[in-house]
Amino acid sequence: MRAVAPIQMMFPPSLLRFVPAFTSRLFVVSQTGQFQLVDTSITTQSSYIYQLETGGAGVHAFDTSSSCQALAFGDVAGYLHLYGASSHVNFNNFSNPTEFADPEEPHHPIDINDPIAPLSTIPMPYCSGKLLSDLPKEFTKYVYRRSLPIDQVILNTMKMVGSVGYAPNPGLWKRNEVRYPQETHHRRSKETREDMDMIPQWYKKIDVKYSKMGIEDFDFNLYNRTCFAGLETNLPNAYCNNMIQVLYFTDPLRCAVINHICQREFCLACELGFLFHMLDTAQGIPCQASNFLRAFRTIPEASALGLILSDSDEARKKVNFPRLVQSWTRFVLQQIHSETQEAPEDDMQKSEKSSELGSELSKLYGWTLLNSNQCRCGNVREKESTTLLCSLVYPDPLPPVPEKVTPQYSFTEILERSLCLESTMPAWCDKCEKYQPTLQSKRLRSLPDILTISSGLENQQDLNFWQTQIEMFGNKDSKPMAFSSAPVPKRCRYGNCCTRAGCKFFHDKDKGKKYVIFKTDTDSSPRTACSWLPLSVHIKLNEDGTVAISRSDCKVEPAPETKVAAEQSLKREEKRPAGGAPEMDSGDSGVLYELTAVVSVVNNTRTNIVSCVRVGPSYHLHHQGGAASQWYLFNDFTIVPISPEEAVWLPLDWKLPCVLYYSCVDLASKHQTKVKTPLTVDVFLQDMSLASDGGRRHVTFQPLTANEILRRGDIVAMDAVVCYPQPGRSGDSERRDTVHDPSFTHVCRSHILPSRSGLSRRRALH
């Protein structure tokens, strides 16, 4: 490039445009409306100047057409001035430049014998298999960068709050400085996002964000719009909330523990009865199982079995939750059985084993087994026992053989084998006086009213067996199941002022509304869908102690024996007088069991325990006024109605069924389901005041006598002292407080004073 000679202008130039047809000519325009055509190749320019009639408005825009026949000027007044070479001006409607192909860059040839040429310049072909350069996994390992040691200045100024330390920033590094890229964090977050997208929202663990007002600011109606009450999760060992719900919706057990009363300080049956009474009267408001969990923590056997979990997240990651669910169920059933068993009448019976004593729970969940040990010499030892829970036993895995097909088993075959188990193992023989191979077999003497099944699934081997059988059954090829539970509705933009009939959005005035479940065809005929896990089974007890089990679902019409058993049960219920015992049918060929509850573990980044419960008509009649049967999903304080097909839906990649409950169809007619208040008038006559330990002279009141017991309509004065502990708080680096444990008031002391004349100085209750 070279510099050209300067061009002398008669006016100050403002806009310049080259003429497309002549590369050396250009138009020069001033803001006052003057323009001139100049040529850069000559030194002497034409002195002819053109003037625009703008009326004093300044020119701020100018351009030439690609055909070189028109000039366009724009002023600040909004006018466009057009000048042409003639009266007929031609314009180019297609003025885009011509596009040419990109030139190809030539590649320099590389000699095959050149040792300096980089191999990275040669592109690699796409290979679907493994490369020769791929190292086996046993030759590689992950090596993580060690964290830098904490500066001593921070350690000296650190203040411990619980297990977390806080210290001011000494200013040794810049703000938001990252030492090295955290690649593992991004990879984990991607896996977490994919995992969360696969699991439905109702199955995930939900954290309650508390405020200064505690739980009053949290809207539980968004998660529970039914008439049943959930349980809160802000207590230690609250993982058993949904398993407690299964026990609550077992009507005979609920009535039995509510009617139970004893003098023990920490009794699970008493605390469970108190919790069930709270759930009966809560009307959908979440309850707390604090008393039950406190009594649960005091039992040494619970701690020995690993049922008491730590609050730290690191300890929860090491817990095998399927094993925890099954161990908790087995322990609680056995503990309630021992606490509610009938007391022996004399001293001779006290020496008997506690398992031989009857209880309401053993009448529900227990069945009699005959354990037989037969030595090869012919010596046979038999012993009867009562079992409350059945653990499934799966066949031994076969070695993988390409030519052999994997055998297919049904759930009823696995259940038959588990109930009547036979195995051979070495045991001591009194006749041979040495260890001999002994055939151990179990035979049933009776069937339970509620069959509790532990599925195992504690290891990968059992999980692979379930996955294989489900795929062979055909559940994999079926269409994905649609959830009957609708998502959380969005809030209406008009709020409570909305006047649209049947608005699908959520309003604040709808918080008090509940779901009313009516009996539909799907509910009355749950056999429309078929799963490897049956919704109902028919069990027949043979004379030799073995059982014959067949499933009663997966059919459009019920099985003949199922239909006959159901009709006979309804006839017996109609003929039975109120409060009388059910009539026994000698011609009954078996017992029909229906699936009533499934406790599952949801494998996620935060493992959760949920339960699917079939709520009977008695609960809907008590809470809603209408008798119906409906399946519900219980996830702490989240309760949503679901379909029966979703209860037996088995996506084993994240949902593991751990405990199954099958109840006989005539359960209500076999057991008493009326609640009788165990408290009598004698409770008010017990003088257990701590003030009386120092002598009667310090007591300033007189307890009521038997003739002075309060009656209905009496006016009393109440005085209570409560304590308000500080809520648990935690801070972060930005000095923001988070309430992780809200405070609740606790009653310390209460007095009830009657206002009847002559009783003003007497105490009714303390």
Asked, for residue 518, whether it belongs to a domain, the answer is no
Asked, for residue 171, whether it belongs to a domain, the answer is no
Q: Which residues contact 545 (CB under 8 A, 6 or more apart)?
A: 370, 420, 443, 444, 445
Rounded to the nearest 5 degrees, what angle is found at the Cα of 659, between the Cα atoms of 297 and 302? 15
Query: Residue 488: its pLDDT value, please?
Result: 45
DSSP result, 201-221:
GGGS-----BBTTBGGGS-GG
Cα(537)–Cα(553) distance, integer angstroms:
8
Torsion angles phi and psi, residue 669, rounded to 5: -80, -15
Q: Is the dihedral of CA 213, 214, 218, 221 positive or negative?
A: negative
Share of the chain above pLDDT 90, in %: 17
Give the pLDDT band of residue 153 (cuts 50, 70, 90).
confident
Cα(618)–Cα(279) distance, integer angstroms:
14
Query: Residue 55: its pLDDT value, please?
Result: 86
The tokens 């409060």 sit on which residue? 579
DSSP strand pairing (390-391 vs 450-454): parallel
The H-or-E segment that residue 183 falls in is: helix 183-198
3-state SS string for 651-673: CCCCEEEEEEEEEECCHHHHCCC
Number of folded domains that form the chain:
2
> How many of the other CB atoms lie within 10 Å of CB of 46?
10
* Final residue of a structural domain among 62, 84, 106: 84
Contact 460, 322 (CB under 8 A): no
In a 3-state reduction of DSSP, which class is residue 692? helix
Q: What would the pLDDT profile of 234-275 be if each residue is shown by its tens digit? A: 888 889 999 999 999 999 999 988 888 887 888 899 999 999
Give the pLDDT band of residue 580 (cuts 50, 70, 90).
very low
Q: How many CA atoms lie within 13 A of 411 on its CB side?
A: 22
DSSP result, 537-586:
EEEEE-TTS-EEEEE--SSSS--HHHHHHHHHHHHHHHHSPTTPPPPP-T
Mean pLDDT of all residues belonging to the chain: 77
Average pLDDT of span 518-542: 64
Q: What tokens does 738 get?
A: 């988070």
* Final residue of a structural domain among 84, 113, 139: 84
Query: Residue 438: its pLDDT value, please?
Result: 85
* Amino acid making up residue 46: S
Query: Residue 132: its pLDDT value, please?
Result: 82
Q: Which residues contact 410 (CB under 8 A, 6 or more apart)?
A: 532, 551
Q: How many CA atoms lie within 13 A of 239 on its CB side?
A: 24
Comparing 467 with 750, which gets the higher pLDDT?
467
Highest mean pLDDT among 54-63, 427-436, 469-478: 54-63
- Cα–Cα distances in Å, from 7 out to 21, 25, 26? 21, 12, 12
**pTM tops 0.75, yes or no:** no
- Cα–Cα distances in Å, from 469 out to 145, 298, 394, 403, 598? 44, 42, 11, 19, 19
Cα(402)–Cα(313) distance, integer angstroms:
44
Alpha helices, DSSP H only, in 298-398?
300-304, 313-317, 321-339, 347-350, 360-365
Query: Residue 595: its pLDDT value, please?
Result: 93
Cα(531)–Cα(524) distance, integer angstroms:
17
Asked, for residue 507, whether it belongs to a domain, the answer is no
Asked, for residue 742, whether it belongs to a domain, the answer is yes
Contact 273, 689 (CB under 8 A): no
Comparing 117 with 229, which gets the higher pLDDT?
229
Cα(495)–Cα(481) distance, integer angstroms:
34
Asked, for residue 705, whether it belongs to a domain, the answer is yes
The alpha-carbon radius of gyration of the chain (Å, integer) is 41
**Most distant CA pair in the chain, distance:** 139
3-state SS string for 217-264: HCCHHHCECCCCCCECCCCCCHHHHHHHHHHHCCHHHHHHHHCCCCCC
Cα(763)–Cα(744) distance, integer angstroms:
28
> How many of the other CB atoms lie within 10 Å of CB of 689?
12
DSSP 283: T
Contact 620, 517 (CB under 8 A): yes
Give the pLDDT band of residue 526 (cuts 50, 70, 90).
very low
Q: What tokens does 421 get?
A: 């188990």
Cα(717)–Cα(47) distance, integer angstroms:
114
Which of these, 751, 678, 753, lies nearest to 708 by C-alpha position? 753
DSSP 287: B
Say how far residue 2 (Cα) sits from the centre of its chain. 77
Query: Residue 504: its pLDDT value, please?
Result: 61
Burial label for 240, CB within 10 Å (0-12, 13-18, 19+), is buried
Comparing 221 with 356, which gets the higher pLDDT?
221
Asked, for residue 168, whether it belongs to a domain, the answer is no
Asked, for residue 190, whether it belongs to a domain, the answer is no
Q: What would the pLDDT profile of 583-632 be if each residue is shown by its tens digit? A: 334 345 788 999 999 999 998 878 899 999 999 888 888 877 677 889 99
Give the pLDDT band of residue 30 (cuts 50, 70, 90).
very high
Highest mean pLDDT among 344-348, 507-511, 572-576: 507-511
* CATH number reported for the structural domain that contains residue 47 in this entry: 2.40.10
Query: Residue 292: its pLDDT value, please?
Result: 92
Asked, for residue 129, whether it belongs to a domain, the answer is no
**Which residues share a beta bridge with 16?**
28
Contact 329, 659 (CB under 8 A): yes
Residue 58, domain extent: 15-84
Cα(308)–Cα(305) distance, integer angstroms:
8
Contact 641, 632 (CB under 8 A): yes
Beta strands in 76-115 (DSSP E): 80-84
> How many of the other CB atoms lie within 10 Å of CB of 380?
11
Highest mean pLDDT among 13-17, 122-126, 184-188, 714-718: 13-17
**Which residues share a beta bridge with 656?**
601
The tokens 């009617």 sit on which residue? 259
Query: Residue 720: its pLDDT value, please?
Result: 79
Q: What would the pLDDT profile of 302-357 be if each residue is shown by its tens digit? A: 988 889 988 777 777 888 899 999 999 999 999 999 888 765 444 444 444 444 45
Q: What tokens does 174 get?
A: 């810049």
Residue 430 has pLDDT above 90, yes or no: no
The tokens 């070495």 sit on which residue? 426
* Final residue of a structural domain among 38, 57, 84: 84
